[in-house]
């Protein structure tokens, strides 16, 4: 485990030390902050328009009309920044010939992939921590339902996990960072909106879509099937990535 | 169990590696004993790096077997990698790390007991202390190569595989690295190194392996293999003398340079035999010495 954590630490530090990591962090926090500002403005405007209608105003909950829309927007930011975070994970190792160092060390390919995944998730966690000012300020001025934030952050974390593992797999499959970024972005967005092809939520296409399970989490329903989906998705991608590395050894 | 017996710390049997329809190495076999320094020679693309990559565990062989310390490099990959230090053809360096943090990381990966202390130790041993806090991206080619050598040594390996260790080094740095390799071998570290600098092989290697078009074409102790190029001058040149010179065992070629001067190429030191053969022809001058180049060129003829 020590060596896995060493690889994770190297991956995390390389994101913190390089401009890509800084730009990704800044972009995500700016977009999340900006859309929080817009959501808040929208909510205040709606509240003011319903000031003469107490019944309708009571229906305008913080959870459904402020927190959920913000988290829904954030999901797209996650899909946008995750490819930028993961694109260099293996492509840079190929370009700098540093994969040889990993492959000739007493470390399994599974440990290499897991270490990189944990490093990226560490960076993703820092990004999510950077948005905690949103619940903090809302709790300071109001009393929102905790479940919305819990579900929202769980959904963001789950989507980060799925997107970054997908990005790691793509990064291991190409030598070009640009190709890795674009392929991960397109694949991530496509998988997210897959349910648009078939509106039946019980259909297998909908069940494959990321959005279906994200919406479940955002609604506050903590289902085993949703957790199994994200865990399974991540494991399949990491396994694929590990197989890619093994394939390099034997090609 | 690791076997550090004198016979074959590195044992390679019938190793073959193919990439699609291209055969990189074919039926390569050799043994290297404990504390030996073996020079691995051959033209570009001959299969040196492929063989070394297989030994280091970076790639797998298509067929054949390789063991280090009695352990199979594939079946016991983790144990083998822990005792092998490997400098690839292109040093695996992270440009965004400082030299010290990189070597500490390499130590962690390779299972060094105290990675930070191991990094400090190797920094001074390879002459990198003055650049320890500099980013690798800002280093010269020579320093980068030394960092590459340092990462191969950070976990105190028992076997060292160096693919062109002197690449990018200036003459003084080459001498330093040669001294370091000799010192390591004196401490029972087994070394296999590839190089295009034949004088380097003559300076530090005990044995030589020459690979050509994926196959080992010559191997043996340097003293036995290194050829001789002798310059002979006689007072009475004749065809009979040339015939006698050709009959001397080990002679590869005799060139008649006119006016009684001959250049004789041989696989071993044949000066005493040449002197005896030339005495009747009025020997005036005999000079020359060992010449690995002649052996190398003969072994790899046709490239």
pLDDT at residue B300 in the model: 79
A187 vs A217, more confident: A187
pLDDT at residue A118 in the model: 97
pLDDT digits (tens, 9 = 90+) for A44-61: 888 887 777 777 767 777
Q: Is the pLDDT of residue B85 over 90?
A: yes
CA distance B196 to chain A (A): 22
- Local structure of residue B156 (DSSP, 8 states): -
User: CB neighbours of B279 closer than 8 A, spacing ≥ 6?
Assistant: none
Banded pLDDT at A240 (limits 50, 70, 90): very high
Residue A98 has its nearest CB partner, among B59, B82, B93, at: B93
CA distances from A29 to A12, A36, A122, A127, B43 (A): 18, 10, 16, 7, 55
Chain B residues with CB inside 8 Å of A97's CB? Answer: 88, 90-92
Identify the contact set of chain A against chain B, taking CB-CB distances under 8 A. 2-3, 6-7, 10, 14, 17-18, 96-108, 248-251
Q: Is the pLDDT of residue A187 over 90?
A: yes
Best residue in B86, B94, B98, B114 to probe A by mutation, most A CBs within 10 Å?
A: B94
pLDDT digits (tens, 9 = 90+) for B15-74: 999 988 889 999 999 999 998 999 999 888 889 999 999 999 999 999 999 999 999 999
CA distance B237 to chain A (A): 59
CA distances from A144 to A44, A141, B2 (A): 15, 9, 64
Say if B116 is an interface residue toward chain A (CB within 8 Å).
no
pLDDT digits (tens, 9 = 90+) for B166-180: 888 888 888 888 888
What is the crossing angle of helices B141-153 and B99-110, to 10°?
Answer: 30
Go through A134-151 and write b for each residue having 16 or more CB atoms within 10 A of its CB, e for each that does not: bbeebeeeeebeeebbeb
pLDDT digits (tens, 9 = 90+) for B217-273: 888 777 666 666 778 889 888 888 898 888 888 888 888 877 888 888 777 778 888
- Helix then strand count (H, E) for chain A reads 14, 0
Q: Is the pLDDT of residue B6 over 60?
A: no
Does ipTM surpass 0.85 in this model? yes
CA distance A238 to chain B (A): 20
Of A31-35, A205-209, B133-137, least confident by mean pLDDT is: A205-209
pLDDT at residue A39 in the model: 87
Q: Which pTM was predicted? A: 0.85
Q: Is the pLDDT of residue A197 over 70?
A: yes
Question: SS3 for A250?
Answer: helix
pLDDT digits (tens, 9 = 90+) for B243-252: 888 888 888 8
Of B115-129, B188-202, B232-246, B267-281, least confident by mean pLDDT is: B267-281
Q: Is the pLDDT of residue A140 over 90?
A: no
pLDDT at residue B1 in the model: 59
Which residues are A107's β-sheet partners?
Answer: none
Q: Is the pLDDT of residue A117 over 80?
A: yes
Q: What is the residue-averaged pLDDT of chain B?
A: 87
Cβ-count burial of A187 within 10 angstroms (0-12 exposed, 13-18 middle, 19+ buried)? middle
In chain A, the residue whose alpha carbon lies closest to the alpha carbon of B79 is: A106
For chain B, list the domains and their CATH numbers. Answer: 1-83+158-222 (3.40.50.300), 92-155 (no CATH), 226-299 (3.30.70.100)
Q: What is the residue-averaged pLDDT of chain A?
A: 90
Banded pLDDT at A231 (limits 50, 70, 90): very high
Banded pLDDT at B139 (limits 50, 70, 90): very high
Mean pLDDT in residue range A120-144: 90
* The pair of three-digit structure tokens given for residue B111, joined into one six-digit string: 């299972």
* C-alpha span between A233 and A158 (Å, rounded): 10
pLDDT at residue B78 in the model: 93
Mean pLDDT in residue range A134-140: 87
Q: Is the pLDDT of residue A5 over 90?
A: yes
pLDDT at residue A23 in the model: 92
Q: Is the pLDDT of residue B290 over 80?
A: no
pLDDT digits (tens, 9 = 90+) for B200-213: 888 888 888 999 99
pLDDT digits (tens, 9 = 90+) for A72-105: 999 999 999 999 999 999 999 999 999 999 999 9
CA distance B57 to chain A (A): 5
């Amino acid at each position: 485990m020590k060596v896995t954590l060493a690889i994770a630490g190297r991956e995390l530090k390389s994101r913190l030390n390089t401009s890509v990591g800084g730009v990704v962090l800044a972009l995500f926090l700016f977009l999340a902050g900006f859309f929080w500002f817009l959501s808040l403005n929208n909510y205040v405007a709606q509240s003011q328009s319903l000031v003469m209608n107490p019944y309708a105003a009571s229906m305008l909950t913080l959870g459904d009309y402020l927190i959920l829309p913000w988290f829904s927007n954030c999901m797209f930011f996650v899909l946008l920044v995750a490819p930028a975070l993961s694109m260099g994970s293996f492509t840079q190792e190929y370009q700098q010939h540093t994969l040889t160092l990993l492959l000739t060390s007493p470390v399994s390919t599974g440990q290499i992939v897991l270490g990189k995944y944990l490093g990226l998730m560490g960076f993703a966690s820092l990004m999510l921590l950077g948005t905690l000012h949103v619940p903090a300020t809302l709790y300071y001025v109001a009393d929102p339902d905790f479940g919305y934030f819990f579900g929202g952050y769980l959904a963001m974390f789950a989507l980060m996990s799925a997107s970054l593992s997908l990005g790691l797999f793509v990064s291991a499959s190409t030598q070009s960072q640009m190709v890795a970024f674009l392929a991960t972005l397109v694949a991530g967005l496509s998988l997210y909106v897959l349910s648009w092809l078939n509106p039946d939520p019980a259909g297998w296409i909908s069940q494959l879509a990321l959005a279906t399970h994200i919406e479940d989490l955002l609604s506050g329903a903590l289902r085993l099937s949703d957790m199994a989906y994200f865990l399974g998705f991540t494991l399949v991608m990491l396994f694929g990535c590990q197989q890619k590395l093994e394939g390099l050894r034997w090609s | 169990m690791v076997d550090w017996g004198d016979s074959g710390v590195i044992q390679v049997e019938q190793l073959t590696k193919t990439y699609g329809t291209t055969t990189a190495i074919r039926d390569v076999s050799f043994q290297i004993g404990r504390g030996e320094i073996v020079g691995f020679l051959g033209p570009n693309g001959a299969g040196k790096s492929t063989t070394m990559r297989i030994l280091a565990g970076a790639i797998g062989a298509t067929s054949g077997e390789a063991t280090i310390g009695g352990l199979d490099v594939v079946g016991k990959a983790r144990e083998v990698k822990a005792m092998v230090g490997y400098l690839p053809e292109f040093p695996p360096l992270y440009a965004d790390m400082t030299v010290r943090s990189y070597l500490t990381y390499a130590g962690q990966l390779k299972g060094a007991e105290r990675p930070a202390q191991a990094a400090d130790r190797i920094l001074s041993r390879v002459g990198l202390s003055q650049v320890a806090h500099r980013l690798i991206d800002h280093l010269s080619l020579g320093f980068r190569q030394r960092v590459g050598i340092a990462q191969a040594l950070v976990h105190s390996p028992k076997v060292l595989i160096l693919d062109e260790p002197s690449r990018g080094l200036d003459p003084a740095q080459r001498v330093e690295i040669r001294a370091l390799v000799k010192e390591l071998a004196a401490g029972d570290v087994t070394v296999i190194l590839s190089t295009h600098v034949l004088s380097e092989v003559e300076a530090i290697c005990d044995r030589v392996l020459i690979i050509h078009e994926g196959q080992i074409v010559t191997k043996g102790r340097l003293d036995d293999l290194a050829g001789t190029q002798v310059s002979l001058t006689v007072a009475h040149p004749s065809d009979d003398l040339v015939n006698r010179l050709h009959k001397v065992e080990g002679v590869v070629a005799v060139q008649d340079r006119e006016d009684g001067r001959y250049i004789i190429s041989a696989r071993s030191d044949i000066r005493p035999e040449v002197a005896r053969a030339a005495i009747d022809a009025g020997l005036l001058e005999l000079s020359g010495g060992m010449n690995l180049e002649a052996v190398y060129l003969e072994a790899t003829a046709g490239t």
